[in-house]
Amino acid sequence: MSTPRCISVKAYATSSASSPLATATISRREPGPRDVRIEILFCGVCHSDLHFARNEWGFTQYPAVPGHEIVGRVKAVGRDAGKFNVGDLVGVGCLVDSCGNCPDCRAGLEQFCPETVMTYGSSDKHLGGGTLGGYSQGIVVAEDFVLRIPANLNPAAAAPLLCAGITTYSPLRRWKVGPGQKVGIVGLGGLGHMGLKFAHAFGAHVVLFTTSPGKAADATRLGADEIVISKDATQMAAQAGSFDFILDTVAAVHDLNAYLGLLRRDGNLVLVGAPGEPFSVAAFPLIMRRRSFSGSLIGGLPETQEMLDFCGQHNITSEVEMIRMDQVNEAYERMLKSDVRYRFVIDMASLK
Ligand code: NAP
Ligand code: ZN
């Protein structure tokens, strides 16, 4: 590996699973011929950032810089990069590279490519070590992994679309959620509130399952037709056997069997929440009505651009609470208490 010239940028990093994030200086490569250098304006705070920073998935390399809901301005483009101009408003999500040749890449499903490079936590083939994410002033990305942000969207409120948006849009589209269907969204956090907005925009009858009664009024405003407090057994029993599709966005292990029992014959429960610990799934709720239980991982580049364009056309963005970079540790603690309405977004101008 020949080491390219580097640029130093400020970032927020952590050096162990138990230490808080703090200011650091990191290296970015000089843009190669097909690369784009981006000044980061805003970065959303995903629960995956917390799982990763605290090594809850078991593969974190330190120092770790989370952040994969990036919106910024193009500052420089490589010699052979033709898709973007300096000054364009762009986004970067969870992926920054892939092989480009395998069946998954050819299908536009780069998230499943065996050589896919995640924005953080993958091996950095240019600089060595791990890839470092968006809690930083700048990033250099292959242009094929850079997305256009529609001009009518608020850039800070568009940042969470790059992960929370595509992660909910993709399974709802794949399972053709639409009019005449009863659809459940479990958990009203970053992913859940985007799932609610999309399922509503696609014309389904949408039911929100929440552990937080205080979020009910917001859920109605965000598109829920009904709200079920999931800790209330009577409310849960009233929904038995009635759902075509349920999207589960919860960040912790919980009782999946309770949701499987709410599906109709041939209904499907799709899990996108990614706790590090395994779930327990009982046979009977699955086999009795030929129900399915499946998973979904973000979305590929073409579908992510489709989702952004859909958001531009329908004026959909995230509900955000803006924070300074130095508030991110506190934001993690609040996220663990389900106290986020509904996505923290870091104003990167605060990283000095
Ligand atoms: P978040 O903002 O923290 O929201 C999670 C919500 O789940 C909470 O607001 C809460 O909603 C509910 N919840 C939390 N703990 C719970 C518990 N113990 N029991 C029941 N409900 C609970 O998190 P997020 O950023 O949306 O991420 C959610 C999960 O998706 C994380 O595990 C993340 O890593 C994962 N993720 C997966 C993908 C993918 O591609 N598959 C992509 C991004 C993120 P209520 O207050 O309404 O109950
Ligand atoms: Zn994420």
Pairwise CA distance, residues 350 & 43, whole Å: 12
Task: Evaluate if residue 189 carries a pLDDT over 60.
Answer: yes
Q: How far is the CA of 57 from the centre of ligand 2 (A)?
A: 14
Q: How far is the CA of 44 from the centre of ligand 1 (A)?
A: 14
Task: Evaluate if residue 261 carries a pLDDT over 60.
Answer: yes
Pairwise CA distance, residues 74 & 83, whole Å: 11
139 CB near ligand 1 (under 6 Å): no
SS3 assignment, position 191 = helix
The torsion region of residue 180 among left (phi > 0), alpha (psi -120 to 50) and beta comes to left
Q: How far is the CA of 46 from the centre of ligand 2 (A)?
A: 5
Q: How far is the CA of 338 from the centre of ligand 2 (A)?
A: 16
Burial label, 274 (beta-carbon count in 10 A; 0-12, 13-18, 19+): middle
How crowded is the C-beta side of 214, counted as CA atoms within 13 Å?
Answer: 6
The mean pLDDT of the chain is 97
Q: pLDDT by residue (tens digit) across 120-168?
A: 999 999 999 999 999 999 999 999 999 999 999 999 999 999 999 999 9
24 CB near ligand 1 (under 6 Å): no
pLDDT of amino acid 87: 98
Q: What phi, psi does 277 have (nearest 5°)?
A: -90, 150
Residue nearest to atom 11 of ligand 1 (CA): 187
What is the average pLDDT across 243-261? 98
Which residues lie at CB < 5 A from ion ligand 2?
A: 46, 48, 163
Which residues lie closer than 8 Å to 106 by C-beta, 6 or more apart?
A: none
Q: pLDDT by residue (tens digit) across 68-77?
A: 999 999 999 9
Share above pLDDT 90 across residues of the chain, in percent, rounded to a whole number = 98
Tell me if 140 sits within 8 A of 166, measured CB to CB: no
Burial label, 226 (beta-carbon count in 10 A; 0-12, 13-18, 19+): middle
Q: Specify the pairing of strand 205-210 against strand 226-229.
A: parallel
pLDDT of amino acid 337: 97
pLDDT of amino acid 2: 59
Task: Evaluate if residue 181 carries a pLDDT over 90.
Answer: yes
| DSSP E strand stretches across the chain | 6-13, 22-29, 35-44, 70-77, 89-92, 95-97, 117-118, 138-142, 147-148, 182-186, 205-210, 226-229, 243-248, 263-271, 292-295, 320-323, 343-347
191 CB near ligand 1 (under 6 Å): yes
Q: Residues 295-311, buried b or exposed e (16+ Cβ, 10 A)?
A: ebbbbbbebbbbbbebb
Task: Evaluate if residue 4 carries a pLDDT over 90.
Answer: no
Q: How far is the CA of 96 from the centre of ligand 2 (A)?
A: 14
Q: Give the DSSP letter of residue 250.
A: -
46 CB near ligand 1 (under 6 Å): yes
| Ligand whose nearest atom lies closest to the CA of 230 | 1
Tell me if 55 sits within 8 A of 18, measured CB to CB: no
pLDDT of amino acid 1: 52
Of residues 112, 267, 258, 260, the one with CA closest to residue 177? 267
End-to-end CA distance of the chain, in Å? Answer: 32
Pairwise CA distance, residues 102 & 123, whole Å: 19
274 CB near ligand 1 (under 6 Å): yes
Q: pLDDT by residue (tens digit) across 193-211?
A: 999 999 999 999 999 999 9
Residue nearest to atom 30 of ligand 1 (CA): 273
What is the average pLDDT across 96-116? 98
273 CB near ligand 1 (under 6 Å): yes
Residue nearest to atom 23 of ligand 1 (CA): 47
What is the average pLDDT across 229-234? 98
Burial label, 294 (beta-carbon count in 10 A; 0-12, 13-18, 19+): exposed
Tell me if 54 sits within 8 A of 168, measured CB to CB: no
User: The pTM is what?
Assistant: 0.98
197 CB near ligand 1 (under 6 Å): no
Per-residue confidence at 233, pLDDT binned at 50, 70, 90? very high
pLDDT of amino acid 312: 98
SS3 assignment, position 251 = coil
188 CB near ligand 1 (under 6 Å): yes
